[in-house]
Amino acid sequence: MTQNELVMDLTSFCRELPKVELHAHLGGSLSQSTMLQLKRLYADSGIPDKTNAFFDEFQIAAGDTRSLSDCFQVFSIAHSLTSMPQALALATSLTLEEFQNDGCVYIELRSTPRETPYMSKKEYIDTIVQAIRRSSINLTIISKLIISIDRRSTSQSAEETTDLAIEFYQNYPEVVVGIELSGDPTAGQFKDFVPALTRAREAGMKITLHCGEICNPAEILEMLAWKPDRIGHGTMIHPRLGGTTETWEALCQLKIPVEICLTSNVNTKLIANYEAHQFKECCEAMVPVIICTDDKGVFATSLSQEYQICAETFGLDQSQVARLALDASQHIFDDDARKLVTDKILNFIECKEL
């Protein structure tokens, strides 16, 4: 087999492998084709989408010179294209379909409820929930929603989002599974969101926190000690990457599953290159890792591509790659779907005799 055939082989394997996506922001997951359809919808409705910016500006490639905070500006492009309920519903269904076409069998899509000139925060959540419910008729991918709290928001706004999240979790437990903290990591303080997050947890919701995107050992320790169900990124926890012995030991001891986003971390320069990622150290320390895309539109990637990059960077064979997907399925928030998804991956492993 030539090197090219081998690469092709791994590409189709990663594509075919039943995968779970546990860290995907709706606003950052919009593909070029989805954005074009959204632009058309705005044009047809006679409503300007308030942005002339397009895909070149939306995407953040490896050599991008924008700072981490600048990177957060790109989401305003996605927000301008999802301000109307019809557009938000279309963005949701097209994105779920794209994940399915990439071999993803289960997704926990996340999004930050926002008030726009065309909908309230409540209508924002309801639009996504109903789009997910409708998608379960046409699509085979099992889709859930995690409601995001933006670190830039006030405590009052976070409390309001939490009230809505709990309400939707109680009314649609088959769709809404959790709540998360994200947004510009240089803004806000974790401790200000603890009361809201604690209420969500007490109501039965699962919690995931963006953690370790910037060098802030004190906050990382607070977050880990609070014992979220999962953390996102977890980049600057290992001392080699800006963490401390204490932060790394806390993660190794608590073994909180880490949603890792390789291309996102390289393109936003959280790490110098793929080889520098903490993936290997996490595996050696038996800290569960889950391969995720973060923002597949912004970083021009896909879940199968992230699996392939991981396999190539860390020299994994097909059996090890398949077991990454299997291990990831253990950390999904929906208890009912977990066994179904795990069985699907196990069946694939058996059929491929891995």
Q: Is 182 in the site for ligand 5GP (CB under 6 A)?
A: yes
Q: Is the dihedral of CA 252, 152, 76, 147 positive or negative?
A: positive
**Three-state DSSP state, 74:** helix
Q: Is 208 in the site for ligand 5GP (CB under 6 A)?
A: no
Tokens 């401390």 correspond to what residue? 244
Q: Is the dihedral of CA 242, 300, 105, 9 positive or negative?
A: negative
List the one residue from 49, 98, 126, 150 that touches ligand 5GP (CB under 6 A). 150
Q: What is the DSSP letter of 294?
A: B
The site that binds ligand 5GP (CB under 6 A) totals a number of residues, namely 17
List the one residue from 34, 83, 95, 111 that touches ligand 5GP (CB under 6 A). 111
**CB 55 to ligand 5GP: min, Å:** 16
Exposure of 311 in the CB half-sphere (CA atoms within 13 A): 25
Q: Which two tokens stand for residue 192?
A: 């200000």
**CB 317 to ligand 5GP: min, Å:** 30
Residue showing the smallest CB distance to ligand 5GP in the complex: 27
Residue 213 a catalytic site member? yes
Termini Cα distance of the chain: 20
List the one residue from 295, 306, 327, 334 that touches ligand 5GP (CB under 6 A). 295
List the one residue from 98, 102, 213, 259 that touches ligand 5GP (CB under 6 A). 213
Residue whose CB is less far from ligand 5GP, 210 or 277: 210
Q: Catalytic residue among 213, 219, 259, 306, which?
A: 213
Number of residues assigned to the chain: 354
Rg over alpha carbons for the chain, rounded to the nearest Å, is 19
Site for ligand 5GP in 68-87 (CB under 6 A): 75
250 near 211, Cβ under 8 Å? no
**CB 126 to ligand 5GP: min, Å:** 15
List the one residue from 28, 228, 257, 297 that touches ligand 5GP (CB under 6 A). 28
Q: Which two tokens stand for residue 231?
A: 């953390």
Q: Which two tokens stand for residue 96?
A: 């779920």
Between CA 65 and CA 73 the distance in angstroms is 13
Residue whose CB is less far from ligand 5GP, 50 or 338: 50
Q: Is 306 in the site for ligand 5GP (CB under 6 A)?
A: no
List the one residue from 264, 278, 302, 308 that touches ligand 5GP (CB under 6 A). 264
Which region, left, alpha or beta, applies to residue 315 given φ > 0 means left and ψ of -120 to 50 means alpha? Answer: left
List of residues contacting ligand 5GP (CB under 6 A):
25-28, 75, 111-112, 148, 150, 182-183, 185, 210, 213, 264, 294-295
Active site residues: 213
